[in-house]
Structure 1
Amino acid sequence: MPKAVRVRQTGGPEALELVDVDVPAPGEGEIAVDVQAAGVNYIDTYHRSGMYPMETPFGIGLEGAGVVTAVGSGVTDHAVGDRVSWYSVQGSYAEKLVLPAASAIPVPDGVPADTAAALLLQGVTAHYLVTSTYAVQEGDPILVHAAAGGVGLLLVQLAKARGARVLATVSTPEKEELAREAGADEVVRYDNFEQAANEFTNGEGMAAVYDGVGKTTFDGSLASVRRRGFLVLFGASSGAVPPVDPQRLNAQGSIYLTRPTSRDYSSPEEVRWRTSELFDAVLAGKLSVRIGGRYPLSEARKAHEDLQGRRTTGKLLLIP
């Protein structure tokens, strides 16, 4: 029988169990795929821990790439043998998967399956952050936290492609090197980023701060934003941010604070636009996708431990 990772009771990484599963034939509007790679994302840890409540038991993982093995009735956009990817299908930590055909995105020739699986969720996130949440302009000073992570490396590259000046935060010399390779203009540690942001902008503050760290960086991030600038809180790897008094936004200079999520930036038209631009950039050699670790399905727990322990760079994949 095919195997998949399931969560019977929410909790720590030990809640991830590799089990045998029945995979039904695809129904109307569905396709079946052999999963070649599944992406590991921070949102998976929120599901596993119960931070984002889900009815148990449940399959975990949202993202992957593979080959179509069967199509259900009414499916005309995909055929057996097609290479596809997806980033919003629960239960993607699996050897085989049935998913809505509408959620499957064709993978262009020249893009390997592992690159496709590593790119979509974090790539679409980085894309909407710099094009739609705050549309980065030529010359904008931008602060990117956790710049050597999966989203961070893509954010730096996409912001630079739009002409931004990027200040990046990282925790180690190895991560600093990766952030600089991605194009960051300056790279600093977390303990002095607020002062660095002030110096980087000659006291004016950042046009936008992209903060996926949360609790430990929020106050400094807020203090680093210029008048009428944007604080984009898109994650909480260090923990949830406590309730915020709106008067703090007033005092800092009419700051815009937003907490975006991909479902609000993922209409069918937007998905086509965003994924097309991302794949085109990869094929043109203008966007590098770093895969920081590959784990067998049986080591999903270790992948989560490494991700939450901030011992990783780039994207983590599970390989069935």
Structure 2
Amino acid sequence: MATARTVIIRKHGGPEEFEIETREVGDPGPGEIRIRHEVAGLNFIDAYQRSGLYPMEMPHAMGMEGAGIVEAVGEGVTHLKAGDRAAYAAMPPGAYADARVMPAAQVCPLPEGIAFETAAAMMLKGLTAEYLFCRTTPIKAGDTVLFHAAAGGVGLIACQWAKSEGIRLIGTAGTDEKCALAVESGADACINYRNEDFVARVRELTDGKGVDVVMDGVGKDTFDGSLDCLKPLGMMISFGNASGPVPPLNIATLAAKGSLKVTRPTLFTHIGDPDTCQAMARHLFDKVLAGDVTLRIDQRYPLDQIAEAHRAMEARETTGSTVITL
């Protein structure tokens, strides 16, 4: 029976909790596939799961995103076959591995024109951008969006996505270099929140009107200011917790600030329906194949340096996407 190096944790905690063990990889059962990974992706949700912000039963394999070759398919799997190139962002975790058996429903056939490394860097982040722009609230050409952490993995995709749709995107980032990267990727403007009041600057950039939509994956540090950036009836999309979870919200605050709307979506709700997942992936692949979205991979770590990869991500030392090579 084949074996695979697999990253696991036995308890929640810091990056030091990672272990690499060799596991047997069996045959897929009904509705499953066996995939041999070429590359895995790195995402903040991995750190949330590792730390216990999103609790998991222990011990548990880690990693939410990967790309590789399908080795075998179980009974009932019709959209994939052995030998297919494939990529996914999916539950349960387990992508930090040479190979694995996993549910097939959220694994997507990968077009020949997209490299494995690109696919592993973009599935979770790109599908997130797809639901933010296309499935959460109506956003049309000419609307203005505020996007926090615009030089991160999701952010750089969002900058390009917005530009391709005629949407004005104002970004925030923590350094001038990151701001420049966001603008280069399609942001109309980017605010260095370390030396500027982003609320005041957003009001200035919108002639005092505010933005139609805020997309906030940072969480605690930016949530209150984000509400103050919205125009009346605007939509706040809180989709992540990079700085920590958002404190409880007094719902009357939304009325006082202009009848605002707030939602807390997750990718995994959207891709929970297999047909929706495959349609979202095809939309993302079309954007990439058309050149509207180009993946920037700025960090690469081998599997045995997974702890260092997490430390760099959590220290905000990364830009663009990070991949784990196998």
TM-score under structure 2 length normalisation: 0.95
- Secondary structure of the structure 2 residue equivalent to 1:102: coil
Give aligned-pair identity as a percent. Answer: 45
Partner of 2:22: 20
The residue type paired with residue 237 of structure 1 is: A
Question: Structure 2 residue aligned with 1:214, among 212, 216, 219?
Answer: 219
- Secondary structure of the structure 1 residue equivalent to 2:135: helix
Q: Cα–Cα, structure 1 residues 269 and 72, in superposed 2: closer, same or farther, change >3 Å?
A: closer
The residue type paired with residue 315 of structure 1 is: S
Q: Find the aligned partners of 1:104 and 1:315 in 2 and give their Cα distance.
A: 20
Q: Find the aligned partners of 1:82 and 1:319 in 2 and give their Cα distance.
A: 20
Partner of 1:100: 103
TM-score under structure 1 length normalisation: 0.97
Question: Structure 2 residue aligned with 1:233, among 232, 238, 262?
Answer: 238
After TM superposition, the structure 1 = structure 2 runs for residues 235-254 of structure 1, keeping only pairs within 5 Å, are 235-254=240-259
Question: Structure 2 residue aligned with 1:269, among 254, 271, 275?
Answer: 275
Alignment of 1:144 onto 2:144: no
Q: Find the aligned partners of 1:278 and 1:76 in 2 and give their Cα distance.
A: 21
Q: Find the aligned partners of 2:106 and 2:221 in 1 and give their Cα distance.
A: 35
Q: Cα–Cα, structure 1 residues 134 and 160, in superposed 2: closer, same or farther, change >3 Å?
A: farther
Contact in 2 for aligned 1:136/1:159 (Cα 8 Å):
no
Question: Structure 2 residue aligned with 1:87, among 86, 89, 93?
Answer: 89
The residue type paired with residue 316 of structure 1 is: T
Using the TM superposition, name which of 137-146 and 98-107 deviates more. 98-107
Using the TM superposition, name which of 47-56 and 182-191 deviates more. 182-191
Q: What's the offset of the Cα at 1:161?
A: 2.0
After TM superposition, the structure 1 = structure 2 runs for residues 89-238 of structure 1, keeping only pairs within 5 Å, are 89=91, 90-190=93-193, 191-238=196-243
Contact in 1 for aligned 2:239/2:264 (Cα 8 Å):
yes
In structure 2, list runs of 5 or more residues that go unmatched: none
Q: Find the aligned partners of 2:229 and 2:244 in 1 and give their Cα distance.
A: 20
Partner of 2:59: 57
Q: Cα–Cα, structure 1 residues 76 and 142, in superposed 2: closer, same or farther, change >3 Å?
A: closer
Deviation readout 1:22-58 (Å, 9 max, x if unpaired)? 2112222322111111111111111101111111000
In structure 1, list runs of 5 or more residues that go unmatched: none
Question: Structure 1 residue aligned with 2:9, among 7, 29, 37?
Answer: 7
Q: Find the aligned partners of 2:116 and 2:234 in 1 and give their Cα distance.
A: 38
Contact in 1 for aligned 2:161/2:292 (Cα 8 Å):
no
Q: What's the offset of the Cα at 1:315?
A: 1.1
Using the TM superposition, name which of 150-159 and 227-236 deviates more. 150-159
Q: How many residues align?
A: 320
- Secondary structure of the structure 2 residue equivalent to 1:77: coil
- Secondary structure of the structure 2 residue equivalent to 1:18: strand
Contact in 2 for aligned 1:210/1:231 (Cα 8 Å):
yes
Q: Cα–Cα, structure 1 residues 149 and 16, in superposed 2: closer, same or farther, change >3 Å?
A: same
- Secondary structure of the structure 2 residue equivalent to 1:311: coil
The residue type paired with residue 229 of structure 2 is: S
Q: Cα–Cα, structure 1 residues 76 and 166, in superposed 2: closer, same or farther, change >3 Å?
A: closer
Runs of 4+ in 1 over 6 A off after TM superposition: none
